[in-house]
A and B are shown apart, each in its own frame.
Chain A
Amino acid sequence: MSGVSTATVEELTEASAPSRFWNRERRLGAALVIIGVIAAAFFGSLAPSETARFTLSENAEGAALSINGQLGAILFGVITVAAGAALLAGVAKRWQTTLLVLGIVTFVFSFLCWQVAGKFLPLVDTLSGSLELALPLILGALAGVLGERSGVVNVAIEGQFLMGAFGAALVGTLATSVWAGLISAVVGGVIIAALLAVLAIRFLVDQVVVGIVLNLLALGVTGFLYERLMQPDAIKYNSPPRLPEWRIPGLADIPVIGPVLFETNLLVWLALILVFVIHFGLTRTRWGLRTRAVGEHPTAADTVGIRVRGLRYLNVLMGGVVAGIGGAYFTLVATGAFNKNLTAGAGFIALAALIFGRWTPFGALGAALFFGFAQKLANYLGAVGSPVPNQFLNMLPYIATIVAVAGLVGRVRAPAADGVPYVKS
Chain B
Amino acid sequence: MTTEAPAPEAPQTPPAKKKDEKEESLFSLFLHNLWSANTVTVTILSIFLALVIGAVLIVISDSDVLSMYSYFTSRPSDALSASWDLVGHAYADLFKGAVFDPAAVQALFNGSGDWKTALNPLSETLTYAAPLVFTGLSVAIAFRGGLFNIGGQGQAVVGTILAGVAGFAIGLPAGLHLIVALAAGLIGGALWGFVPGLLKARTGAHEVITTIMLNYVATLFLGWLILQKGVQDPNRTDAISKTVDSTALLPALPAPLRVHLGIVLAVLVTAAVAWMINRSSFGFELRAVGVNPPAAKTAGMSVGRTYTLLMVVAGGLAGLGGAVQVLGTADRLTGQVAGNIGFDGLLVALLGRNKPWGTLFAAILYGGLRAGGNLMQVDVGVSLELVTVLQALIVIFIAAPALVKAIFQLRAARSARLGASVAKGW
Contacts and interface: CB of A to CB of B under 8 A. Distances in A.
A303 B223 CA distance: 53
B347 A213 contact: yes
Interface string A200-231: 00011111111011101101110111111100
Contacts of B357: none
Interface in B75-115: none
A224 B373 CA distance: 12
B396 A210 contact: yes
Query: Taking chain A's interface residues, is the majority helix, strand, or loop, or is none over half, making it mixed?
Result: helix
Residue with the greatest number of chain A CB neighbours at <10 A, chosen from B62, B204, B350, B403:
B204
Interface in A383-425: 389, 391-392, 394-395, 398-399, 401-402, 405-408, 414, 416-421
A348 B425 contact: no
B385 A227 contact: yes
Contacts of B73: none
Contacts of B420: 205-206, 209
Given A205-B420, A212-B150, A407-B203, A9 B388 contact: no
Contact of A419 (B199, B214, B396, B425): B425
Given A398-B214, A402-B210, A10 B203 contact: yes
Contacts of B205: 402, 405-407
Nearest to A392: B224
A208 B146 CA distance: 13
B214 A223 contact: no
Interface string B27-38: 000000000000
Interface residues of A, number: 64
A159 to B, nearest CB: 10
A228 B383 contact: yes
Contact of A405 (B206, B422, B423): B206
A119 B203 CA distance: 43
Contacts of B201: 9, 13
B148 A208 contact: yes
Q: Which 9 residue pairs across A and B have the least CB separation, nearest first? A: A8-B204, A220-B388, A419-B425, A10-B204, A227-B383, A220-B389, A228-B61, A223-B385, A224-B385
Nearest to B221: A391
Contact of B62 (A7, A153, A228): A228
B425 A13 contact: no
Interface in A1-45: 1, 4-13
A406 B199 contact: yes
Contacts of B392: 213-214, 216-217, 220
A206 B385 contact: no
15 contacts: A4-B292, A6-B425, A7-B293, A10-B204, A205-B399, A206-B399, A208-B208, A213-B346, A224-B57, A340-B385, A392-B224, A398-B213, A402-B199, A406-B199, A418-B425
A216 B346 CA distance: 11
A121 interface: no
B122 interface: no
Nearest to A227: B383
B293 to A, nearest CB: 6
A401 B196 CA distance: 12
Contacts of A405: 199, 203, 205-206, 209-210
Contact of A352 (B213, B224, B400, B426): B213
A123 interface: no
